[in-house]
Amino acid sequence: MEFRPSTLLRVAAPLRSLAQRFMYVSLIVLSFGLMLVGKIDVVLIDHLRAEVTNVAAPVLAALSRPASSISNGFDKLRALMYLREENARLLEENTKLRQWVYVARRLHTENTTLQSLLHSVADPKPKFVTARIIAGTMGSISNTFVINAGSEDGVGKGQPVLSDKGFVGRIVAVSKNSARILLATDINSRIPVILESTRTRALMVGGNMERPRLIHLPPGAQITSSERIVTSGHGGVFPPGLPVGLVASVNDVSVEVQLFTDYHLIEFVRIADFGVNGFVDLLSLKNKVGGSASKEK
């Protein structure tokens, strides 16, 4: 007897319907059975879960590899785009720096020629002593640091103290192995400064606050924010040109200065000896005057 396709379809259709009808019932019965087995034998179910996880783990790992590869590819693409932008920015910055190098060399040559014509006396090269800050006070009463270098290390009273950013303060007390720095923000600090672009002279005074102020400005002085401030060298206490800070704010009451140095972040300072003899030791002068008067008597 030969079976035709139509005959096979007529035989398979009832079987398929019967299988679909009992499939849901079988799954429900299997679920309840597994629940009962889980309640009865927890160890068996845990072992079965572990085996299923052990079999499924390689499959999941293999499926996750393409997604991880795609993600890594996108990360590399983004990194390449960032490097391209960074390379373009560095190329532009390098071009500007080359121009400034050319200008600096030309100005250096011109400055050297003019100094030779004028027989200008060169400024003495400073000597530096590097020291660590070991203590300090920053508050409404005083603003000072204590360093671990003293007279034995070549530290002297009145010497300016610098950080890698700029001016910090000056030495006001020296012992054998330590010294005290009066910060530019201290109320007793007085620093002769000059505005670098306009050459306007002023006196920078501290007030035991975060920002010192400029006083004794000439009448009608034009001061703008972000103008660079350096030491003027007046009085012979400090050499000219030491970087101090920027003009932070200008109003009718005061002109505030934002210092280049952040006192909360520095650990090491440099004490500079520029060979400046303008600082007067009042105590020594008083002793000399007293000694002379006693001799006269």
- Three-state SS sequence of 214-278: EECCCCCCCCCCCCEEEECCHHHCCCCCCEEEEEEEECCCCEEEEECCCCCCCCEEEEEECCCCC
Which residues have a Cβ under 8 Å from the Cβ of 258 and sit 6 or more positions away? 211, 245, 246, 247, 248
CA proximity to 261, closest of 283, 242, 281: 242
Q: What is the pTM of this model?
A: 0.57
Give pLDDT, residue 64.
63
Q: How confident is the model at residue 252 (pLDDT cuts 50, 70, 90)?
A: confident
- Give 246: exposed, middle or buried? Use CB within 10 Å, 0-12, 13-18, 19+: middle
Alpha carbons 266 and 136: distance in angstroms, whole number = 12
Give pLDDT, residue 6.
58
Q: What is the pLDDT of residues 59-78, one digit of tens each?
A: 666 666 666 667 777 788 88
Residue 178 near residue 150 (C-beta atoms within 8 A)? yes
In this structure, of 88-92, 106-110, 149-153, the range with the lowest mean pLDDT score is 106-110
Give pLDDT, residue 184.
95
Alpha carbons 236 and 111: distance in angstroms, whole number = 24
Name the 3-class secondary structure at 202.
strand
Mean pLDDT of 131-146: 92
CA proximity to 195, closest of 224, 161, 160, 235: 224
Any idea where the domains of the chain sit in the sequence? 26-122, 127-276
* CATH (one of 1.10.1740.10, 3.40.1190.20, 2.40.10.340, 1.10.287.130) for 127-276: 2.40.10.340
User: Which has the higher per-residue pLDDT, 145 or 294?
Assistant: 145
Phi and psi, residue 155, nearest 5°: -85, 130
Buried b or exposed e, range 96-112, using 16+ CB within 10 angstroms: eeeeeeeeeeeeeeeee
Write down the mean pLDDT value for the chain: 80
Give pLDDT, residue 78.
83
Mean pLDDT of 13-27: 69
CA proximity to 187, closest of 142, 237, 125, 135: 142
Q: Is the pLDDT of residue 194 over 90?
A: yes
Q: How confident is the model at residue 192 (pLDDT cuts 50, 70, 90)?
A: very high
DSSP state of 78: H
- Determine the straight-line distance between the first and last CA of the chain, rounded to whole angstroms: 155
Mean pLDDT of 112-121: 75
